[in-house]
A and B are shown apart, each in its own frame.
Chain A
Amino acid sequence: MVAILALVCVLPLIFTGAYARQVLVVCGINIIVACSVRLINLSGQFSLATGAMMTLGGYLSALLAIHYGVSPWIGFLIAAAAAFIVACMFGFAFVRLKGMYFAMVTLFFMQIVTLIVLDLRSFTGGINGLFNIPWPEGIKVETAFYYVIVAISVISLLLFYLLEHSRLGLVFKGISQTETLCESVGINVRIMKVLAFGLGSLFAGLAGACYGHYMGALNPSAFGFTFTLYAVIYMVVGGRNAFVGPILGATVLTLANNLLRAFASFQPLFFAAVLLLIVFLMPEGLVGLPSRGSALVRRYRERRSGRAAQG
C-alpha cells in the first residue's frame, strides 16, 4: 500500500513530461469511476448513468467557477453533492425496475443530460464545450494539481473501502443475493438501493469535476456511452468481486490504452478482445491471475513428477 502510494508520488519526478502526468491523472479518475460502478453493483444494480453523473458534476463545478466565480474547491463538493441528490431523486423513481430495465432507464438519463448540455448553448458552450475552466486557488503549477488529484483519489478509495466493509456494504451485498430475504428481516430494500446508487454517483460527480478543472476543458461527449462502458469494462477486467479489482482494471487498461495510442483506431477492438478473453478465461478478472497462475504451475509440476515416477 505505502509502496504504491510512494511510487505514485515519485512518478512525476521520473516522468517529468506533462503528458505522463496527465495520463496518471486520467488513471486516478478512471479508478474512482470504476470503483463507483462497483459500489452500485454491490447492491446488484447495474447503472449506465456513470458518464452522465460525471458530465453533471464536471459541468456544474466548471459553470459555477466560470459564471459565478465559485471556488473550484467548493465546486468539487457541490458536484459530489449534486450528483448524490440527483441520483437519489432518480433512484426513488426508477429503482424498482430490475436489472436490464434499470440499466436502460439510466441510459435514457444520460441522453437527457447530454441534450440539456447541448441545448443551453449560451450557458454551457453547446457542442463546442467549455474552455478555460479555472484551477482551484492556490494551485499554481500543474504538478501541484497532480498531487491534489492523487489525494482526492486516495481519500475516495479509503471511503469506498470503509463503505464496503461497513453495515452498508453488508446490506448492499445481501440485497444483491436475495431481496425478499432482506425485506423479511426488516431492511427497506428500496431505500438501500437508492442509497447505493446515490453514493456511487456521488463519486462519479466528484471525478467529473476533477477532470474538468484539471484539463481546463469539457465537452458534452467526453463522458458518453463509450466512456461509461469502459468504466464497466475496467471493473469486469479487474475483477468485480474484489475491492482491488476495479483499481487494477482501470490502471492496467488506462496505461495500456495510452501505450497503444499509436493504433488509436484499434482501441475499441483492443478493449473488446481483452474483455472477451477475461470473460471466457478468467471470470474472476485480473485479481484471480496469481491464484490461477500458481494452480497452473502446480498442475504442471504434478504432471512432471507423475511422469518421473512412471519412468
Chain B
Amino acid sequence: MTARSIHWFWYASPQTFYPLAGGIARWCGIAAALLAAAGLWVGFFVAPTDAQQGEAYRIIFIHVPAAWMSMFLYVVMAGWAAIGLAFNTRLSGMLASAIAPTGALFTFIALWTGSLWGKPTWGTYWVWDARLTSELILLFLYFGFMALQAAIDDPRRADRAGAVLALVGVVNIPIIYFSVQWWNTLHQGASVSLKSAPSMAASMFTGMILMALAFWMYSIAVALARLRCIIKERGE
C-alpha cells in the first residue's frame, strides 16, 4: 500500500464519520435551498399553464420528485441494512435508521399531493388502484421498520431485525414502479424514462428535475444530521 492510497474503511467507523457527516450535511442543506428556490421559480413563473389541467398540474413539481425519493430512499435504506447484516458494520445499521423517517415523510408527501391532484383531475381524492395501494404499502413498510427498531432495546439487535424487514419489503419497489404497466390503473404511466424523451414541455421538465435534485440534497442533509444524533445517542 502506498501512502497515497485511499483509506476506504477509515470512515466506516462512527467516530471518524461524525465530523465528515456534519460537513456534508451543511453543504447539502445549502444546495437543497438553492435548488428548491430555482425549481420553484421555474415551476411557478417559467413553466406554462397546462392545456388540459390548467394550473392544477403544478403539483407535479413536488409530487413526482417526492414519489421518486420515496422509492429511492427505501432502496438505499435496504442497501445499507443489507451491508450491516452481511458485514456486521455498526455505521451501516445506523444509516438505515437515519434514512427511514425521511423516506416515510416523502412517501406521505407523494400520497398527499397525489390525493390533492387526483381530486381535480380524476374526480376523487383516493381510489384503491395498484399504484396508490402499493405506495401506501411502502408507507406502512417504513412505519413497520421504525416501529420494530423502536421496540427492541439493544440497538445492534434492532438493526438486524429491521434489516430483515427492510430487505423483505424491497419486493414492493418494482411493484410500485411497474404497477402502471402491469395493471389497469387510473394513474398515468411514466412521463420520464431513460429510453425516450420526456413527454412534457422542456421548462416543466427542468422544474421537475431541479425539485428532484433539491429533495435529493435535502434527504442527504437530513439523514446525515439524524445519523449524527444516532451516533451520539448510542454513545459511540
A and B interact physically: no
Interfacial residues, chain A to chain B (CB-CB below 8 A): none
Interfacial residues, chain B to chain A (CB-CB below 8 A): none
